[in-house]
Copies of this chain bind each other. A is one copy, B any other.
Amino acid sequence: MDRERDLLGVDEMKYDADGLIPAVIQDAANGDVLMVAYMNRESLIETLETGKTWFWSRSRKKYWMKGESSGHTQDVHEIRYDCDADCLLVKVTQHGPGACHTNERSCFYRRLYPDPLSLAKGGSHE
């Protein structure tokens, strides 16, 4: 993961038709995936400049800093991008109980039913 090459910047990322790029937010300490949200060019620059995570809310159509109301901000350690430059991976230190508005540590606190391995072993998804 640490091979550094072909370094690109904010303007080389590939934003979708709405100007957005998904950002996977990962706990820098233990690798847990905390949340996925969307950035646009401006919120990515804001994230880079402040060292806190800023996103674009698709529902509210506004910028928001993670934790601006709850105080549960995220300090950014590094930002990676994928081979297509159309997705970001942001490693953070999460302040407060968690990243989720439910106060769970991770937004991914629920497991899809049923589990694939039980199905592959002959179970049914009906």
Q: Which of A45, A48, A113, A116 has the most CB of B within 10 A?
A: A116
Q: Tell me the nearest residue of chain B to A100, going by C-beta.
A: B83
A-side interface residues toward B, CB under 8 Å? Answer: 1, 3-10, 13, 22, 24, 26, 30-33, 35-36, 45, 47-51, 76-84, 87-89, 100-102, 104-117, 119-120, 125
Given A30-B31, A31-B30, A33-B89, the answer on whether A79 and B119 have CB atoms closer than 8 Å is no
Q: Which residues of B contact A82 (CB under 8 A)?
A: 35-36, 100, 107-108
Name the distance in Å between A2's Cβ and chain B's nearest Cβ.
Answer: 8
CA distance A33 to B81 in the complex (A): 11
Q: Which of B7, B10, B35, B116 contacts A125 (CB 8 A)?
A: B10
CA distance A8 to B30 in the complex (A): 27
Report yes or no: A33 in contact with B22, Cβ–Cβ below 8 A: no
Given A22-B22, A89-B33, the answer on whether A112 and B51 have CB atoms closer than 8 Å is no
